Structure formats: C-alpha cells, structure tokens
Amino acid sequence: MKPVSLQDDSSKTALSLRGLRLASRIVMLVDWASRSNRRCSLILVLLCCIAFLPGFFSIPVLDRDEARFALVTRQMVETGQLAEVRIGSEGAHTRPLGWHWLQAGLVASVDAIGMDRADRTIWLYRLPSLFAAIAAVLLTFWAALAFTGRRAALFAAILLAGSASVGVAARLAMPDALMLAAAAAMIGSLARLYLPERAGEHATLLPSDATRALVLLFWGAIAAALFMRGLLALFYPLLALCSLMAVDRSLRPLRATAPVVGVALCGVVGLLWYLLRHFGMDDRDAVAAGRALMGRLGPSFSGAGGPPGTLLVTFWGMFWPGAPLAALAVPLLWKARRQRAVQFLLAWVIPAWIVLELIPTKFPAHLLPLFPAVAIAVGLALERGALALSDARLVRLVWLWPVIGAAIAVFALLGLAIFDRTTSLLAWPLLLLGFFALVTAAAAFREYGAEKASLLAVVGMLISGFGVMQLLLPQMRSLWVSPRVVEAVGRENCPAGSGPLVLGAAGYDEPSLAFLLPGSIRLMDGAAAADFLREGGCHIVLIERRQEVRFVRRAEALGLRFERTADIGGVAYADGRGVRLSLYRRVGG
C-alpha cells in the first residue's frame, strides 16, 4: 500500500507544480508590469482587448435597448436633426443627446470615407462603448493609486476588466460603459481631494496645480456623464458626498470640490440641453409623417422587479470572477471602517446600493458605477493581507468560479444544440481549458495565495469567454431573427418600375429589424398587412403566426392572391418566446 500512496502523492505534487508554474508565470507578468505606471497601462489595454473584442464584431445588434439606441443615432445621421431623439414615431425627448452625438459623429465620418453600409454596421455604434470601457479600466487603476500601491491598483483594474458585466457593457452600443468610466474618474479625483495625504503620490500625470485639476476632473466627469447618460450621473457622487459629510459631521468634503464651479458647469450643461430641446427640434409635418410610417417599435427593457436583495444576488454574476473576492474582503473592510480611505469606499458603495435595492424596479446596469470602488476595496484588502487570512468558510466561495463558469458554458452549448441542432468543435477545447483553470484556481486558493489564484481565475474566464462570445453566440442563428429576415428580404426581386421595396411587418416590431433593414418598414396588424399588399408596387409583408389568421381572412375577403416566399423561426430572447415568421408577396396583377 505504501508505494501506491507515494505514487499518488507524487502525481498530485506534479499536477500542483504544473498549475503553480502557470500561475507563477502570470504573476511574473504582473511583477514586470507593476514596475511603472506606463507598463501597467500597457498591460491593462492589452487585457481589455483580449477581454472585450471576442464577439464585438460578430454578434449582431441586440434587442431591445441596444437596437433602440443605435436606431436613434441612425435616424440622426439620415435626417441631420441632431437635436431630435425619435424612435420611429415615438418621441424620446428625455434622452440625453451626447451619447448619440458620439455615435453619429463616428458613423457619419466612416460613411464619408466610403465604407459600405456604415449606418447599418452595429460594431461602429459599439466603438464608443469599447473605448469607454478601456478608459474605465485605466481610470480605475489611476483611482486605486489614491488608496493602494501600484501592484494592488493594477490588481483592482484587472478585476474590473475581467468582470462579466464590464465585458457586456463594452460590447453594447449603450452609454453604460461611459457612465462607468465617468464614475472611475469621479472616484479618483474625489478621493485625492478627500485624502490629501495621498494626493501627490503616484500622480505624475497631474498639472502643477493639482487641486484645481482634480476639481475640474471631478465636475467635468459629472458634466460629461450628465450630457451622455442623464440625471443618473448626479446620483452616485452626490450621495457619496452626503454620506461623507454625515460621517465627518462637516462640510469639508463638499468644500474640497469647489461646489460653485460644479454647479456652474452642470448649469451650463442643463441650459444647453434645454435650448436644444426647445429650439433645435424640427417637427414639420412632412418629417413627422415620414417617420410615422415606421410606427411604434417594441418597448425598451424597463428593468426587472424584485424584493430588496435582488441586486445583491445579481452581483455574483455581474462581478464574476471578482465577486467571491469582494465577499472575502468584507470582514477587513468592516473592521477598518473608521479609516478614511475605507470610509470613502464604503460611502461610494453602500448608500447607493441601498437606494437601488429599495427601488421597486431593479436595473442591474445601475450597479456598474459602483464596481470601480468594489474592485479598489478588494485590491486594498489584498495589499493588507486580508484575503490570505480569510475565514475558511468564506474561502469556499471561490468555488463559485468554476460553478458559474461551467453554468455559462453549459447553457451556451445547450442553447446551440437545442435550438440550432449543432455545436462548435473549436469552442469545446477552450471551454474545457477555461474550466480547468477555474477549478485549479479554486482548489489551490490557499496553496497559490489569493493573488495567484485570482489571476489564474481571470485567465480561465478569458479563455472561456472567447469560446462563448466568439465561437458560440454568433452561431446561434435561432437568436438572431432580424438578420435572417433581412437576408430573406434581400433575396426578393422587385419588378421594373415598381418602385423601392417596402416591408410591412405584422406582429414583429423588434427595433433590430428597423435598424438592419436597408429599405423602409411599416408596422401594422395582420388585416392591415393584406390591405398594404393589395396596394401594389414592390410591397412584401412579414407576418408573425399570431397575426396570420387575420391576414389570411382579410386577404380572402379582398380576393388577394399571395404566395409565401420564406419561413423564419427562432427565439425572441427579449420576450423569452418562440417566434415563427412568414414572408408573403402578391401574385399577379
């Protein structure tokens, strides 16, 4: 028995050493990077590209909110009305303009240099989100330097770059990533104003008058977010300032920010917004009638209801794989809650989180501006050795790394197999390798140490993420109904002299179809679709199965002859239901 035992121990030791060497090489890279801010920035930009680019170009436009944001921008580019926010015939005059201007300027510039179908290429609309997410990671590193040393600051930025929700925000043509970057800038500047003992440390990029630069950066980030994201931009910094003043029983935190300058700057933004809304819109009847042809598109996501604590549960998936580390850091943060640096981080996170939990409708994206502070808190706990001394029961939470990673991979593989009856042979090795890295990181957390294990978990997440985002999701054609409809419409040939192709859609009002379709679209019910088809010209109709009976009955009453040219089935993930669409055209005169 003894030789067998020695052989087993030897194999286990060899496996452990192989895993340790892999983790050690990752740590060696971090050692090299942490020698200067420039190296840290370089590593973080490369990490962001590895984390954010898979699927960035290949995943089609998503319903609902991404398609609605992109459609607003496309209509701005087409009409030249940069002060009017309209989705089809639906006015959205409470939306901020800045984000759409960023997208419109980029798309119009690319279109001007001759790129084909630039206005319907979704990754162009996503580029501002990608740049904003990279900026958020770099700004989190800079903000963390107000609390920790360079190595812990780099670790905090790596956690943010590797988190699942930041990866999603970087791939969506929506302003969430920009709000995240603005929040990181606010945290870094406000922390240096609130913690003057750290203001000059590592701040080599600041001008000579550091205080003035910090004040301008703080209020400039708020003003930019206000114009890009709306009034939500004021929620986080003002709540944090009120909390700090309550803890200090002093107005010093507010006075340090030069509030007169901030109020004036935000007032200018508010005045500009007001003037554009009341004097910049063009509501001429011809323009309004033309846009009304599209009708009202599918509604945007209005959040999800749930009791208090719903966002706390959501956090484990959104901040994966960093969420278990945040839980391990809680005991230290609570013990050190009277320290000014910890007080600042808690003031940024806890009051806002409580308010968001108490709101009946929960918006997970509203947690994103809290993540830089959470990542910095984890880096602070790592620097002080708290993660290595964590309670053994809490350390078991790191097994969520492989559990959540396996769940994501299994759901993606099952979805591809069930709905599309296929799989990706290239994705399997990546998913298995990523799962192995996550299991190794969890099993050897004590042996490797918190830093090595966490970095290995991030690498495992990146490997699995490439397989899911680049190799699995783009192949799920059952999810991408609108692109398949556009393909089918593109195969229709119009008779000479019949005019441009116009599509009538009954029962399918997803904004992704309106965004991708090169021609015009009219939304209607099944009976109106028969009347529309009878008008003649190059008219075709898209009928959802629930509207098909009304369409057929009305067509029979009109004596209309028609033929089915395509059937498209899939899953409307925005509603969680299956859809069956049919394309019809008129036969004869």
Q: What is the pLDDT of residues 190-200, one digit of tens each?
A: 999 998 654 44
Distance in angstroms between the alpha carbons of the first and the last residue of the chain: 90
DSSP conformation letters of 108-134: HHHHHTT-TTGGG-HHHHHHHHHHHHH
CB atoms within 10 A of CB 494: 16
* Cβ proximity of 320 and 160 under 8 Å: no
Is 16 a residue whose pLDDT tops 70?
A: no
State pLDDT tens for residues 529-540: 999 998 878 889
Is 134 a residue whose pLDDT tops 80?
A: yes
Give me the pLDDT at residue 574, please. Answer: 76
Q: 184-188, 389-393, 409-413 — which is least confidently predicted? A: 389-393
State pLDDT tens for residues 257-301: 888 888 888 888 888 877 776 665 554 443 443 343 445 555 666
More confident call, 23 vs 397: 397
Q: What is the CATH number of domain 481-586?
A: 3.40.190
The full set of domain ranges for the chain reads 15-52+127-295+306-476, 481-586
Give me the pLDDT at residue 299, please. Answer: 61
State pLDDT tens for residues 68-94: 899 889 888 888 777 776 665 555 555
Phi first, then psi, for residue 451 (nearest 5°) are -70, -50
> Both tokens of residue 236?
């986080």
Tell me what the mean pLDDT of segment 314-340 comes to. 91
Give me the pLDDT at residue 386, please. Answer: 74
Element holding 565 (H helix, E strand): strand 562-572
Question: pTM (2 decimals)?
Answer: 0.90
- Alpha-carbon distance of 585 to 45, in angstroms, equals 51
Band (pLDDT 50/70/90 cuts) for residue 209 is low
Q: What percent of the chain has pLDDT over 90?
A: 53
- Average pLDDT score over the chain: 85
CB atoms within 10 A of CB 202: 17
Give me the pLDDT at residue 519, please. Answer: 78
State pLDDT tens for residues 376-401: 999 999 988 877 666 667 888 899 99
- Alpha-carbon distance of 63 to 85, in angstroms, equals 18
DSSP state of 577: E
- Alpha-carbon distance of 512 to 67, in angstroms, equals 5
Collapsing DSSP to helix, strand or coil, 94 comes out as coil
More confident call, 11 vs 574: 574
Give me the pLDDT at residue 275, please. Answer: 77
Q: What percent of the chain has pLDDT over 70?
A: 86
Give me the pLDDT at residue 179, please. Answer: 96
